[in-house]
Chain A
Amino acid sequence: MATQLDTDYFQKDKVLKTVGTRPIKADGVDKVTGRARFGADIHLPSMLHGMFKRSPHPHARILSIDTSAAEALAGVKAVVTSADFPDMKPGTPYDDQTRNMMARGKVFYDGHAVAAVAATSATIARKAVKLIEVEYEVLPHVMDIMEAMKPDAPLLRDDIFTKGVDPKPDKPSNVTERVEYAMGDVEKGFKEADVIVEHHFKTKAMHQGYIEPQACVASYTEDGQAEVWCTTQGHFRFRQVCANLLAMDVSKICVTQSEMGGGFGGKNYSYIEPVAIALSRKSSRPVKLVLSRNEVLRATGPVSGTATWFKMGCTKDGKITAAEADLIYETGPFAGSMFANAAMAGFTRYDLENVKSVGHEVVTNRPKVAAFRAPCVPPTVFGIEQIVDEMARKIGMDPIEFRLKNAAEEGYTTVYGQTFGPIGFTTVLKTAKEHPHYTAPLGANQGRGIATGFWFNRGGPSSATININEDGTATLITGNPDVGGSRVSLAMMAAEELGIDVDKVRPSIADTNALGYNHVTAGSRVTFSSGKALIDATRKAIKVACERAAEIWDVPADGVVYEDGFCRPSSSNVGDFDPLPLAEIAKRSIALGGTIAGHAEIVATGAGPGFGIHIVDVEVDKETGRTDIKRYTVIQDAGKAIHPSQVEGQFQGGAVQGNGWALNEEYIYGEDGRLQNPGFLDYRVPVASDVPMIDTVIVEVPNPDAPFGLRGVGEVPLIPTMAAIANAIRDAIGVRMYELPMSPPKVLKAIEEAEKT
Chain B
Amino acid sequence: MARKHVATTVNGDTYEFLCDAEQTLLDVLRDEMFLTGSKEGCSSGDCGACSVMLEGKLVCSCLVLGIEADGKTIDTIEGMADGETLHPLQQKFLEENGLQCGICTPGILIAARALLERNPDPSEIEVRYWLAGNLCRCTGYDKIIRSVLDAAADMRGA
Contacts and interface: CB of A to CB of B under 8 A. Distances in A.
Do A and B make up one complex? yes
B8 interface: no
A485 B100 contact: yes
Interface in B122-156: 124-125, 127-129, 131-146
Nearest to B34: A43
A29 B95 CA distance: 11
A34 interface: yes
- 8 nearest A-B pairs in the assembled complex, by CB-CB distance: A34-B37, A261-B103, A31-B102, A656-B140, A652-B140, A680-B46, A34-B77, A645-B97
Interface in A289-344: 290, 292-293
Nearest to B37: A34
A646 B38 CA distance: 25
B76 to A, nearest CB: 7
Interface stretch (A82-90, A161-169, A210-218): A210-218
B78 interface: yes
A657 B27 CA distance: 30
Given A38-B39, A123-B20, A679-B42, A29 B94 contact: yes
B75 to A, nearest CB: 12
Given A33-B77, A679-B46, A212 B34 contact: no
A154 interface: no
Given A32-B105, A649-B100, A655 B140 contact: yes
Interface stretch (A434-442, A688-696, A742-750): A688-696
Interface in A625-670: 645-646, 648-649, 652-657
Contacts of B30: 40-41
Tell me which of A264, A681, A685, A687 has the highest count of chain B C-beta atoms within 10 A of its own C-beta. Answer: A687
Interface residues of B, number: 62
Contacts of A646: 97
Nearest to A659: B140
A211 B104 contact: yes
A121 interface: yes
Contacts of A653: 100, 137-140
B141 A691 contact: yes
Nearest to B76: A34
Tell me which of B23, B132, B140 has the highest count of chain A C-beta atoms within 10 A of its own C-beta. Answer: B140
B129 A28 contact: no
Interface string B76-91: 1110110000100010
Nearest to A645: B97
Contacts of A484: 100-101, 138
Contacts of B100: 483-485, 649, 653
A680 B135 CA distance: 9
B78 to A, nearest CB: 5
B44 interface: yes
Interface string B36-50: 111111111011010
Given A24-B95, A31-B102, A688 B132 contact: yes
Range of interface residues on chain A?
A: 35 or more
Contacts of B41: 211-213, 261, 293, 680
A691 B142 CA distance: 9
Contacts of B106: 32, 34
B96 interface: yes
Interface in A103-148: 121-123
Interface of B: 20, 22-23, 27, 30-31, 34-44, 46-47, 49, 76-78, 80-81, 86, 90, 93-97, 99-106, 109, 124-125, 127-129, 131-146
Given A213-B41, A680-B41, A262 B101 contact: yes
18 contacts: A34-B80, A36-B102, A40-B36, A41-B36, A122-B27, A211-B41, A212-B41, A262-B138, A292-B43, A293-B43, A293-B47, A484-B100, A653-B140, A681-B44, A685-B137, A688-B127, A688-B132, A691-B141
A649 B97 contact: yes
Tell me which of A28, A652, A681 has the highest count of chain B C-beta atoms within 10 A of its own C-beta. Answer: A28
A686 B77 CA distance: 24
A211 B80 contact: no
A690 to B, nearest CB: 8
Given A485-B97, A680-B41, A685 B135 contact: yes
Contacts of B127: 688
B37 A209 contact: no
A170 to B, nearest CB: 46
Contact of A483 (B40, B101, B104, B145): B101
Contacts of A691: 140-141
A635 to B, nearest CB: 15
A290 to B, nearest CB: 8
A22 interface: yes
Given A259-B101, A649-B100, A211 B143 contact: no
Contacts of B37: 33-35
Given A25-B97, A32-B90, A687-B132, A680 B44 contact: yes
Given A32-B86, A293-B44, A652-B140, A37 B39 contact: no
A40 B105 CA distance: 16
Contacts of B93: 28, 32
A669 B99 CA distance: 34
A34 B109 CA distance: 10
Interface in A259-280: 259-262, 264
Contacts of A28: 93-94, 99
Contacts of B86: 29, 32-33
B38 A688 contact: no
Given A36-B102, A37-B36, A290-B40, 14 more contacts: A32-B86, A32-B99, A32-B106, A33-B81, A34-B38, A38-B102, A210-B137, A211-B47, A211-B135, A261-B41, A483-B101, A645-B96, A653-B138, A688-B131
A96 interface: no
Contact of A211 (B36, B49, B131): B49
Given A32-B109, A211-B47, A693 B132 contact: no
Given A31-B105, A32-B93, A652 B139 contact: yes
Contacts of A292: 43
A681 to B, nearest CB: 5
A700 interface: no
B43 to A, nearest CB: 6
Interface in A19-56: 22, 24-25, 27-38, 40-41, 43
Contacts of B97: 22, 25, 485, 645-646, 648-649
A43 B31 CA distance: 8
Nearest to B95: A24
